[in-house]
Chain A
């Protein structure tokens, strides 16, 4: 490891050591064990380098240039919750600030019997059976140092547990807010969702922060969908353009479970979303849709790893990207069909629209098939706005900027319409339009 990489690693380790979480109870040796093993991995893993395939197009240099420190304080910074709420969204709401549960900002009353939504830390303190049994199971050994760091510091985050056959009365909204008025804070939330057999839920996760906030969200989530469970998951990442964001989501799907994920990444300065699906039971279905919009100096990186290990599972993946200004995006989507996984139905497609000649996308859809009798496809496109379409709109009196916006929103529409939660969809549509307004008015060639 080079000296330039060793230095920040030491710093992160020291920072972690200072805030080594106190076990919530004397009997939590399982948790201490997780943390200890992860800490052992830090030095071995080192920071990712671009010679590693999974980091080939994504440099961490910008991230390491900042001296992020693990947030130690128990007191949360003041934050104006109202500024982050969506109108007419009727939900159970859990709010986290810098990775820590904020009970005063949350509204979780009236949850149905058999439904638990709240803080992982409190759950570990009061009833650790589920966390002890499931944490780390989907994530496995850390693939990179950031996962090891998250596990080494694992303390608080979202906890959802729906028992067999139950369903919350309303969607669950989880607001991950970040606020770092003084220091460059690193928040490492750890999230655990367990839907037992036949349980259902709708989960809306939003990452947001005041403009200009500088912080590093290094979060990890593990979702377990047992037989016949059904989870609709909508995720909006729309953070400060100074922020850094890494999120690794691991899903275990059992028989006939159904997981639907629609993700909107409007970004931070640097963001990377990793999604790993493991099919552990037959006839499970995953529908993954995503839209990323990147401009300015933003980097948006998406990594998907969809592993068909058992027969008869379905995965349909559609990601679209709109890139403007000097925006960069990486899409690395991989489907793996293992020898046992006959009758797999796996499709993955990525389409990108470049709105400026300085925008760049590196897209790499991959398909590895080791089984017979499967239906699989993958593909990627990178294009620009069609001059014939632009002329058509302009010839009807619509100015060039508005015409570009209409076409871009039309391009994004296929993903937007996958979100049936109207207040969220309309919010995202308006946010995308706002992001594009400046880019499209300044001309296609800028």
Chain B
């Protein structure tokens, strides 16, 4: 589904990704781990189409289509979704209006008719339970005054409503206590499906106790330096990222 080929990206002239390779198939969950500054969040943002990143080389395709040539909203139309590390607050923008606008934008791009308020509510109501949210969340402004846990749950709610093909979760565990982490992870696990791929970006192994990945990759110095299965995450937890750097230097 997703093919990242020798991707090189710089920010303000400073190289961040230096030839990153990654292949993700439908139904797979890939974890990307790495020390701070290794380029994990850059990779997540570049895939979602955020401005401010310069692609210096390499290619990214989604189902054969050049992803890097598309605007952020077009990537969303193709099924890319980024659950953000720091979801922004949108004062004055109602959460339900926001999600309905987003869903209908995706439906319009796919040639499907727009959902009216009733149709949208039917759809969103069943998703709210996934993240243990009630309808009051829909009446509030997007993330405005939300706690850290509420913001992350709101991200997973959007993911549930928009039903992406490729979901990228950027440090979804950051700032969550153990109860909120469990709610978020349960929501994500419910959304695992044979048609959907997920990339879980995280600094800590902890999240992977709840969202068990099929593959674990370690990003360091802008490159995938090690790939393996779940046990790689456990090994990292035990030995720390320094272990890999020492091995690479040797």
Contacts and interface: CB of A to CB of B under 8 A. Distances in A.
Contact of A399 (B75, B105, B162): B105
Contacts of B236: none
B67 interface: no
Nearest to B89: A389
A387 B88 CA distance: 10
Residue of A394, A397, A398, A399 contacting most chain B CB atoms (<10 Å)? A397
Interface in A383-398: 386-389, 391-398
Interface in B53-105: 71-73, 75-77, 81-82, 84, 87-88, 90-93, 97-98, 101-102, 105
Given A387-B51, A396-B158, A397-B73, A402 B90 contact: no
A400 B73 contact: yes
Given A395-B76, A396-B102, A397-B76, A406 B93 contact: yes
A396 B88 contact: no
B91 A410 contact: yes
Contact of B76 (A396, A409, A410): A396
Contact of B73 (A387, A398, A412): A398
A301 B88 CA distance: 33
Interface of A: 386-389, 391-400, 402-403, 406-407, 409-414
A326 B109 CA distance: 33
A409 B92 contact: yes
A395 B90 CA distance: 14
B50 A407 contact: no
Residue of A395, A410, A414 contacting most chain B CB atoms (<10 Å)? A395
Contact of B88 (A388, A397, A402, A406): A388
A392 B51 CA distance: 11
B105 A397 contact: yes
Contacts of B49: 394-395
A406 B77 contact: no
A47 B109 CA distance: 56
Given A388-B88, A395-B82, A397-B102, A410 B141 contact: yes
A413 B97 CA distance: 13
A407 B94 CA distance: 10
Contact of A414 (B50, B92, B97, B162): B92
A410 B105 contact: no
B51 A391 contact: yes
Residue of B71, B72, B77 contacting most chain A CB atoms (<10 Å)? B72
Contacts of B75: 395
B106 interface: yes
B48 interface: yes
